[in-house]
Structure 1
């Protein structure tokens, strides 16, 4: 069974914006380049050296308005530009401490006042993904269409913060790929596990407001709250939108 790669997406600052790409070169054992390279720690965080769990960071599950942020990263300059329908636009360098106060002033109104507040931008030398393994998330448009039909409403791909969206095949077949290898363009992946979802998926990524009971719909219709799979790059190479995918 084959199909096409429909979208490539990265999130330079975890939980703070999405950026679509036309192509990218993947490296074995690494995340999508610059995906979740930074994360925004809050004032209740208990950070350790290197990778940290998502509970330490500001994110859409606790601050729905963050889901409406889009981003653009200039790799040459290190500058990230964030845009939000209510907060406008800001450009800054996440590694420049002098830019931090300006970013915090911009983002604080998007965080509920009763929640822990953002205080710092951190990095770990790898993607701050939700899994300890350096992985990418792979999602199926067929599965999304099936869920949307069950719910009776359209669901944006951006709701799920995925890295690679695949067209073709049948709904939910990606769960059968665990332990198997998948070829997309010039890269080969090993599919490792299903992705259990959080309440961020209930949020409209255009408005930042909760509008869809995705978790309840997954539970009621399929008996779980999983959507998409994690995969590790085992053979690096270039991929681009439109590339064919197939099981190895």
Structure 2
């Protein structure tokens, strides 16, 4: 069976929404365009200004604020304006580069009082705020997700993994065998650098932003808490739904 791209997702604001794409052009040495370009610094992240990459601990994220998982995003490339939707409040239309205060006021309504509070929206100036210290694209395997569903004993939305490129036609966990190997996806070539370690953000359902499943417990049954792999783009090119995926 030929492996193919089934879905492409970007997450313009780290942990604050997802947006589906039909195609994307990857660039060597960069994350997926507009993915994790912004992040939300919390009240203890005084030194984070976007001039250098910063780890996820400096930002508000789903692992600490489950309600964020239910945000969806629409980014207008012509105007730079972004629309955020959440089932528990009115949608917000704003410019992330100029309307940071408006965004913070909107998202604070989703943050419990006993959690580190959002204070500012930070734009990455040199490197996207992916969870890896290198600009990464996350590759996800539908067969591995189905295996997790079986261990969990219930259907689970695959969107809780917040991956970039979804692939079908592989064996379960086959993507783990790609470490340090090159993979051609459409016209782009990526080198898989590492497995993606997971946290409690995966326990939240994208439908409502509430915790509904012990996903880490399901992963523990395989002796790890990893899902998907992080890859570096080494040859840029377009990637479109339906494109073939193959090891080089």
| Interval containing the TM-score (normalised by the shorter chain) | over 0.9
Deviation at 1:102, TM superposition (A): 2.0
Paired residues of 2:62 and 2:68 also in contact (CA < 8 A): yes
* RMSD over equivalenced CA pairs, Å: 1.0
Distance (Å, rounded) in 1 between the aligned partners of 2:152 and 2:167:
21
Aligned residue in 1 for 2:92 = 90
Aligned residue in 1 for 2:151 = 150
Deviation at 1:216, TM superposition (A): 1.1
**Corresponding residue pairs, total:** 245
Paired residues of 1:2 and 1:247 also in contact (CA < 8 A): no
Deviation at 1:46, TM superposition (A): 4.2
Aligned ranges 1:42-121 → 2 under 5 Å: 42-48=42-48, 49-96=51-98, 99-121=99-121
**SS of residue in 2 equivalent to 1:110:** coil
Paired residues of 1:7 and 1:166 also in contact (CA < 8 A): yes
**SS of residue in 2 equivalent to 1:16:** coil
**SS of residue in 2 equivalent to 1:222:** coil
* TM-score (norm. length: structure 2): 0.96
Aligned residue in 1 for 2:203 = 202
Deviation at 1:104, TM superposition (A): 1.7
Gap runs ≥5 in structure 1: none
Deviation at 1:47, TM superposition (A): 3.0
| Runs of 4 or more above 4 Å deviation | none
Deviation at 1:152, TM superposition (A): 1.0
**SS of residue in 2 equivalent to 1:114:** coil
Distance (Å, rounded) in 1 between the aligned partners of 2:243 and 2:2:
10
Deviation at 1:71, TM superposition (A): 0.3
Aligned residue in 2 for 1:164 = 165
Aligned residue in 1 for 2:191 = 190
Deviation at 1:243, TM superposition (A): 0.5
**SS of residue in 2 equivalent to 1:204:** coil
Gap runs ≥5 in structure 2: none
Q: Is 2:21 the partner of 1:21?
A: yes
**SS of residue in 2 equivalent to 1:60:** coil
Paired residues of 1:189 and 1:232 also in contact (CA < 8 A): yes
Aligned residue in 1 for 2:130 = 129
Paired residues of 2:104 and 2:121 also in contact (CA < 8 A): no
Distance (Å, rounded) in 1 between the aligned partners of 2:141 and 2:47:
33
Distance (Å, rounded) in 2 between the aligned partners of 1:236 and 1:155:
32
Aligned residue in 2 for 1:241 = 241
Deviation at 1:18, TM superposition (A): 0.1
Deviation at 1:247, TM superposition (A): 0.6
Distance (Å, rounded) in 2 between the aligned partners of 1:239 and 1:184:
6
Aligned residue in 1 for 2:8 = 8
* TM-score (norm. length: structure 1): 0.96
Deviation at 1:105, TM superposition (A): 1.8
